[in-house]
C-alpha cells in the first residue's frame, strides 16, 4: 500500500486498497467522524473539511431548503451519506445530497442501498481544494442526475446526460431557475449575515416564480 499526501494537509490518498479493506475502514471509522471518504477502483481519498468548507456548504443547504419551501417541493436530506456500489467498485460521501423528485421513495428509510434505491437527485460539492479523484465520473456511474459544484465564488450546475455531466445555466430540479447567481447571495452573507441573506434569497425566488 502506497500513501501519497496531497499539497493540502486535509487530503490523503491511499492506493491499491481493496473493496474489502475499504469496507473495513468504513466500519472501523464509524459514522461519527469529520472525515469523508471517496473510493474509486482501488484509490481511496480521505478528506477532512475545515471551517470555510463547512460554512459555504451550510449556506448552500439553507438556500436549497428555501427553494423547496417556495416551490412546494418535499426534500429528504441525506447529507454526506455514503453512496456506494460494490459492483462498480466506486463510492463517495458528498458534501451534501438530497432526494427531491424521488423523495417519496426514500422518505421512511434510514439506509440507502443503491442496488435497489435510486441515487440522490442532487449532490453538492464544495471544492475549495481540488480532489485528487474524478468525482464527476464516480457520481455519473452512480447515476446522480444533478450535481452542483461551488469553487472560488462560482457555482456550476451540471446535469447528467447520456452518462456524462453537461454544464447548464438553470437547475433542472428547481423549475429551471437560473441558480448560477447563488454566489451573489453567499457573498452577501458576509455583509448582512446569514439570516439577512436567506431573506433576500427568498424574496428573489418569489420574484422569479
Q: Domain 50-208's class?
A: alpha beta
Residue 132: pLDDT band (50, 70, 90) is low
In this prediction, residue 129 carries a pLDDT of 61
How big, in percent rounded to 5, are the helix, strand and coil portions of the chain? 35, 25, 40
In this prediction, residue 5 carries a pLDDT of 37
| pTM across the whole model | 0.90
For the purposes of burial, counting CB atoms within 10 Å of the CB of 119, is it exposed (0-12), middle (13-18) or buried (19 or more)? buried
- Tens digit of each residue's pLDDT (9 = 90 or more) over 107-123: 989 899 999 999 999 99
* Pairing assessment for the beta strands 164-168 and 11-14 based on DSSP bridges: unpaired
In this prediction, residue 204 carries a pLDDT of 96
In this prediction, residue 128 carries a pLDDT of 60
Average pLDDT in the 158-164 region? 95
Instruction: Check whether 131 has a pLDDT greater than 80.
Output: no
Amino acid at each position: 500500500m502506497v500513501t501519497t499526501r496531497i499539497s493540502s494537509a486535509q487530503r490523503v490518498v491511499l492506493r491499491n486498497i481493496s473493496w474489502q479493506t475499504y469496507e473495513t475502514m468504513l466500519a472501523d471509522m464509524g459514522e461519527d467522524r469529520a472525515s469523508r471518504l471517496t473510493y474509486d477502483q482501488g484509490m481511496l481519498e480521505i478528506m477532512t473539511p475545515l471551517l470555510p468548507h463547512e460554512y459555504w456548504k451550510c449556506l448552500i443547504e439553507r438556500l436549497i431548503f428555501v427553494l423547496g419551501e417556495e416551490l412546494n417541493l418535499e426534500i429528504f436530506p441525506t447529507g454526506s451519506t455514503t453512496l456506494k456500489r460494490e459492483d462498480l467498485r466506486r463510492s463517495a460521501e458528498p458534501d451534501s445530497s438530497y432526494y427531491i423528485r424521488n423523495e417519496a421513495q426514500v422518505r421512511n428509510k434510514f439506509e440507502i442501498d443503491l442496488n435497489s434505491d435510486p441515487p440522490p437527485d442532487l449532490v453538492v460539492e464544495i471544492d475549495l481544494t481540488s480532489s485528487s479523484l474524478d468525482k464527476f465520473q464516480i457520481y455519473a456511474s452512480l447515476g446522480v442526475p444533478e450535481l452542483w459544484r461551488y469553487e472560488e465564488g462560482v457555482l456550476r450546475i451540471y446535469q447528467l446526460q447520456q452518462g456524462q455531466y453537461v454544464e447548464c445555466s438553470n437547475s433542472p430540479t428547481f423549475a429551471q431557475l437560473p441558480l448560477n447567481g447563488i454566489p451573489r447571495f453567499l457573498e452577501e452573507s458576509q455583509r448582512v449575515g446569514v439570516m439577512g441573506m436567506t431573506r433576500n434569497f427568498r424574496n428573489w425566488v418569489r420574484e422569479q416564480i
